Amino acid sequence: MPFIAENEEDSAALTTVIRDSIWLALLMGFTAGFFILATPLLAAVFGVTDGTRSALGVYPLFIGCHAVMVSLSASATVILVALGRNRTVFVLGLVHTLLSFILVPTLVLGPGPFFGMGLAGAGLATLLGSTITLALTWFTVRRIPVLEKLSVLSGSPSLTGMWKIAKVGLPTGSTLLIKSVSLSVLIVAVARIGSEAAAAHQFLVLFANLLFFPSLSVGQSTVPYIAKAAKRRDLAEVRITVFSGYSVSVPLTLASAVALWSVADPALSVLTHDPEVRAMVAALLPLVFLVALFDSFQVVSGMGLVALKRTIPAMYTFLFCYGLLVLLTFPLVSVGGLPLLWSAYAVTTFGLLLGQGSSFLRTSAKV
């Protein structure tokens, strides 16, 4: 994103940067998708029964493809934010949320003439939502005047340019990979409990993602301003911009959590008829809200590091926090099931909050 913002007036350089960023997004998306697709194989290694693995069906395939769509959509979103189209990003985020609320109950339960697909429907709904969002995002990108006549999708990438972007973008992309791999391990661990726990876990992840996207949009919107302030070596403005991001993302997350809590019971009744699954999800929603609250802080700090082109600390923070979670996942599930696992997930995001925040303070001090 900083590279796009600083090359807005240079069409040739802008075309190269965008093309190189798309190739990097594809690389990271396919890597994350591969690990997700391999979930059933990993489950077999860790002793998950054939019946439970079979119950996953095509769900890993849908979520693996979803990872690719999200990566490409993220690269397009970066362009929009870097070129000052923050309102467009916000609207696209709302559209994605609306699609999730429509597609998930429709494909999972199949109300009216629709055929209910269960867990496969949840995966398909996720994939369709991300695919539609990707198409809409790239449509809006192509309508930006400075990009209308640029052929950003043709030609081969520049290895030098890719490496320059990769030094900033690859560590950031690695955080997505680390999180995806870690959540895959969590799915395997939860699957050993039973199909009800696995279903409840996926609904909890869905709700956590819905609460995370608004904070991510807020964090991304701060990057161009931080990058420009850093170029002027204005430390005060760099930090004020990040603190302003907190002042928006945190209340937005809290308001979203209150809204979700108010419709939790009817929403769960639509999503599943299994009373055991509904009870597990309802009981663990406060932990989901806690995860989302911590994420609303850490993602803004993380975007500050992106703007400063110093993203390796973020990668180390994710590797340390999620690495500990992965190491403890199976013992935690064996001892305390889903409640203890999601408590550990909340502790993990709090660790990200501390790590990202401290990294930003140290890095910004060098501006």
Q: What does the pLDDT look like over 166-198, one tens digit per residue? A: 788 778 878 888 998 898 889 888 888 888 888
pLDDT single digits (tens) 282-296: 899 999 999 999 999
Note the pLDDT of residue 247.
94
CA–CA separation, 115 and 108 (whole Å):
8
Low-confidence winner among 60-74, 111-125, 246-260 (lowest mean pLDDT): 111-125
Of residues 2 and 34, more confidence is placed in 34
Note the pLDDT of residue 236.
93
Residue range 159-166: mean pLDDT, rounded: 78
Tell which residue, 366, 227, 365, has the closest CA to residue 309: 227
Low-confidence winner among 111-115, 222-226, 231-235, 291-295 (lowest mean pLDDT): 111-115
Note the pLDDT of residue 44.
78
| Element holding 95 (H helix, E strand) | helix 86-109
CA–CA separation, 180 and 202 (whole Å):
13
Note the pLDDT of residue 112.
61
pLDDT at 253 over 90: yes
Note the pLDDT of residue 325.
94
E-strand ranges in the chain read none
CA–CA separation, 278 and 265 (whole Å):
8
Note the pLDDT of residue 237.
92
Residues 6+ apart with CB under 8 A from 25: 71, 72, 74, 75, 173
Note the pLDDT of residue 74.
83
Question: In b/e form, how buried is each residue of 11-40, taking b as 16+ CB within 10 angstroms?
Answer: eeebbbbbbbbbbbbeebbebbbebbbebb
How crowded is residue 61: how many other Cβ atoms within 10 Å of its Cβ? 19
pLDDT at 58 over 90: no
Task: Name the most confidently modeled range: 35-49, 178-192, 262-276, 343-357.
Answer: 343-357
In terms of Cβ atoms closer than 10 Å to its own Cβ (0-12, 13-18, 19+), residue 7 is middle
Three-state SS at 304: helix
CB hemisphere CA count around 143 (13 angstroms): 8
Tell which residue, 259, 271, 263, 270, has the closest CA to residue 203: 271
In terms of Cβ atoms closer than 10 Å to its own Cβ (0-12, 13-18, 19+), residue 277 is buried
CA-angle at 27, arms to 351 and 36, nearest 5°: 60
Note the pLDDT of residue 320.
96
Of residues 234 and 53, more confidence is placed in 234
Residues 6+ apart with CB under 8 A from 86: 80, 217, 221
Q: What percent of the chain has pLDDT over 70?
A: 95
Of residues 28 and 133, more confidence is placed in 133
Helix 159-191 × helix 11-37 angle, to 10°: 30
Residue range 122-144: mean pLDDT, rounded: 87
Low-confidence winner among 42-46, 124-128, 279-283, 290-294 (lowest mean pLDDT): 42-46
Note the pLDDT of residue 153.
67
Q: Average pLDDT of the chain?
A: 85
